[in-house]
């Protein structure tokens, strides 16, 4: 039986389905992509190396309030990660005195965002908190676009066009992160994948494999689930995204969250970091 499971579902749907099996078989389940907060609560064998939406969305809300953005329209896709993102942002933003004019949830399978964008324009907010898509025209109405980092995902950012320049997001990784390790990682990723730019999904996988490798070293190759999970708890290392660790209590990722602004650098679009929030835990679990 395999000792680790890699799930590539950003929504966490597959993780939720597999977690009971991981518990029954006592097999570590390494989550390298999904961001729904409650995933690690589904099994004592779940360990996450990806991200948690609450980490970035709460910081995004706090930053917006401190930077003159007091009135927003929230636009998210109508499925678990979108709703999570909205709820985490809403809690901090409203508590800080901000106003949310409207909550717009777009059908996940509906590619026509025009009527939803018109509703956002009509509300005349300072900004639109967006998850899952960017759209032309909002900047012409004087509306800023803010959101979690997957809104300006590195591997598609160059294809979105210059209209996204100035978009501000909060996230744990940017291909433009200035560390020597990340520069080497981005270069190796391009070389191995026909010019593909590294993104947050690739880093989640990279860190997941690193976690498995180092845990096996600590257990001297023993693959028992309890021993491996124990070895993973509290583990810390340098990632292409910066310093990260596994919370020994929740088995969840602790990492920096960066405020980023889209800029054109040497002819390419990047989310350039301008502020760092170090060692961020899952704020949702911290309340429990």
Please give the DSSP secondary-structure letter assigned to residue 162.
Answer: G
Is CATH 3.30.1490.190 correct for 5-51+200-251?
no
The per-residue pLDDT for range 215-230, each reduced to its tens digit, is 999 999 998 999 999 9
* 5-51+200-251 and 54-171+258-286 share one fold: yes
Q: Do 172 and 55 touch, CB atoms closer than 8 A?
A: yes
> Domain-by-domain residue ranges, the chain?
5-51+200-251, 54-171+258-286
List the alpha helices (DSSP H) in the chain: 13-25, 53-66, 80-95, 114-123, 154-157, 180-192, 200-218, 225-232, 283-286
What's the CATH fold of domain 54-171+258-286? Answer: Rossmann fold (3.40.50)
Cα–Cα distance, 94 to 285 (Å, whole number): 20
Which tens digit of pLDDT belongs to each residue from 117-162?
A: 677 777 778 888 765 445 545 666 677 889 999 889 999 999 888 8
| pTM tops 0.75 | yes
Backbone angles phi, psi at 186, to 5 degrees: -65, -40
> Given pLDDT bands bounded at 50, 70 and 90, which one contains residue 113?
low
Q: Which residues pair with 196 in a beta bridge?
A: none
**The pLDDT of residue 191 is above 80:** yes
């Amino acid at each position: 039986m395999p000792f680790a499971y890699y799930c590539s579902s950003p929504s966490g749907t597959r993780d939720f389905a597999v977690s009971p099996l991981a518990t029954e078989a006592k097999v570590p389940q390494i989550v390298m992509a999904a961001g729904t907060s409650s995933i690690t609560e589904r099994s004592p064998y779940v360990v996450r190396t990806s991200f948690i939406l609450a980490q970035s969305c709460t910081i995004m809300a706090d930053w917006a309030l401190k930077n003159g953005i007091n009135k927003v329209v929230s636009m998210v896709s109508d499925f678990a990660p979108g709703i999570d993102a909205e709820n985490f942002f809403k809690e901090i933003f409203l508590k800080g005195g901000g106003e949310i004019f409207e909550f717009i949830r777009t059908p996940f399978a509906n590619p026509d965002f025009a009527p939803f964008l018109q509703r956002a324009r009509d509300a005349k907010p300072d900004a639109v908190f967006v998850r899952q898509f960017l759209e032309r025209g909002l900047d012409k109405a004087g509306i800023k676009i803010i959101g979690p980092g997957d809104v300006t995902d590195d591997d598609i950012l160059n294809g979105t066009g210059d209209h996204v320049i100035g978009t501000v997001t909060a996230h744990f990784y940017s291909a433009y992160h200035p560390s020597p390790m990340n520069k080497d990682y981005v270069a190796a990723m391009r070389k191995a994948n026909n010019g593909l730019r590294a993104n947050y999904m690739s880093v989640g996988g990279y860190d997941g494999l690193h976690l498995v490798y180092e845990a096996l070293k600590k257990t001297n190759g023993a693959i028992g689930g309890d021993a491996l999970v124990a070895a993973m708890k509290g583990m810390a290392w340098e990632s292409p995204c910066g310093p990260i660790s596994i919370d020994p209590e929740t088995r969840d990722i602790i990492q920096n969250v960066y405020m980023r602004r889209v800029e054109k650098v040497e002819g390419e679009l990047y989310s350039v970091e301008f502020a760092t929030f170090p060692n961020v835990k899952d704020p949702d679990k911290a309340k429990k």
